[in-house]
Amino acid sequence: MITRRNFCKKSLLLIGGMAVPLAALEIFNPGRLSAEKDDPAKVRWVFLVDTFKCVGCGFCVRACKLENEIPYDANVSRTWVERYVVTKDGQVHTDSPKAARDGFTSKSIDQASRGLLEIKDEDIDKAFFVPKLCNQCDNPPCVQVCPVGATYQTPDGVVLVDRTWCIGCGYCVMGCPYGVRFFHPVYKAAEKCNFCYHRISKGLKSACVEACPFGARRIGNIKDPEDPVTRIIMTERVAVLKEEYGTKPQVFYLGMSREVK
């Protein structure tokens, strides 16, 4: 027979035991802790896009295609510029003809198979341009789904594709919530923006950053507190795309509007 004293003692013990979080029972690895304390990677590339400054000239898309040998007339691109036109009745119209390779030289919205949409000047509530590129996520879903280890993240945060190892299954193309991946028509392998890894590792800036005459695209190192891009990201009102997916995207947008998806 259980006594009242025993019952109270045991139930307190049980409740106390249940209150101990699992994390408290974790055995610490001093090596890992010290590695995390002084992070070996001194560089983490991030991108800053200013949607006020972008005028939709498309020089970035042209420079990207030529720099990274993406077939110029194929309908694929590592980066593109979207036009958002919000009309006074609240409707949002977007287009990106030829990924904006030749800029926006028409007032009509390209609706693909549904033809062109003419919008009268006086009906426009607001209109702006949004450049898009790979977000080099901290939790890249495209890397997790690769069954063969052909895509991976470098220590400085850039997600790369091993063209010789890619089997072309297309899981990563489907897995990316931002739609930045595609198949390279020549190499027949998954292709994506890598912030011009060959340029940034030589101390140059990405081709699109150099090509932008308006300073709408900037690249920086978030681990350097003196970097002007880091300062803006830390102090200004920046937004990221599809934050709710938990991918931790590393392309930050200034002046992001509610309509942008």
Partner 1 sequence: MSHVWRPLFVAAGVVVVILVLRVILVPNDFGIHERGYMYGWHRKGNEADWKNISVKYRTTEYCRQCHRDKYEDIRNSPHGSIMCENCHGPAMNHPQDPRSLEINRSRALCVRCHFKLPYSASRRGSIKGINPATHHPEVECVLCHYPHNPLRAPVKKEANQ
Sign of the Cα torsion 127, 131, 137, 141 reads positive
- SS3 at position 65: helix
Could you say which of 115, 155, 168, 228 contacts partner 1 (CB under 8 A)? 155
CB atoms within 10 A of CB 61: 26
Could you say which of 9, 10, 29, 52 contacts partner 1 (CB under 8 A)? 52
Q: What are phi and psi of 220, to 5 degrees?
A: -155, 175
Interaction of residue 131 with partner 1, rule CB under 8 A: no
Q: What are the residues whose beta carbons fall under 8 Å from the beta carbon of 163, sequence distance 6 or more?
A: 184, 187, 189
Distance CA 234, CA 22 (A): 33
Residue number with CB closer to partner 1 (101 or 251): 101
What is the CA 42 to chain-centroid distance, rounded? 20
Residue number with CB closer to partner 1 (210 or 227): 210
Interaction of residue 238 with partner 1, rule CB under 8 A: no
Residue number with CB closer to partner 1 (9 or 42): 42
Placement of tokens 């006074």 in the chain: 88
Question: Residue type at 115?
Answer: G
Interaction of residue 249 with partner 1, rule CB under 8 A: no
Interaction of residue 194 with partner 1, rule CB under 8 A: yes
Could you say which of 45, 104, 178, 182 contacts partner 1 (CB under 8 A)? 104
Interaction of residue 213 with partner 1, rule CB under 8 A: yes
Residue 249's alpha-carbon distances to 34, 98, 253, in angstroms, are 26, 25, 11
Q: Among candidates 241, 261, 257, which has minimal Cα distance to 126? A: 257
Residue number with CB closer to partner 1 (54 or 233): 54
- Which span sits near partner 1 by CB under 8 A: 11-19, 57-65, 71-79, 232-240? 57-65
Question: Residue type at 227?
Answer: D
Interaction of residue 190 with partner 1, rule CB under 8 A: no
Would you state the torsion angle of the CA atoms of residues 248, 150, 195, 136, taken in this order, to the nearest 10 degrees?
0
By CB under 8 A, the count of residues binding partner 1 is 58
Q: How far is the CB of 51 from partner 1 (least distance, A)?
A: 8
Question: Which chain residues interact with partner 1 by CB under 8 A?
Answer: 40-41, 51-59, 62-63, 66-68, 85, 102-107, 121, 124, 126-129, 140, 143-144, 149-155, 160, 162, 164-165, 194, 197-199, 201-202, 204-205, 207, 210-211, 213-215, 257
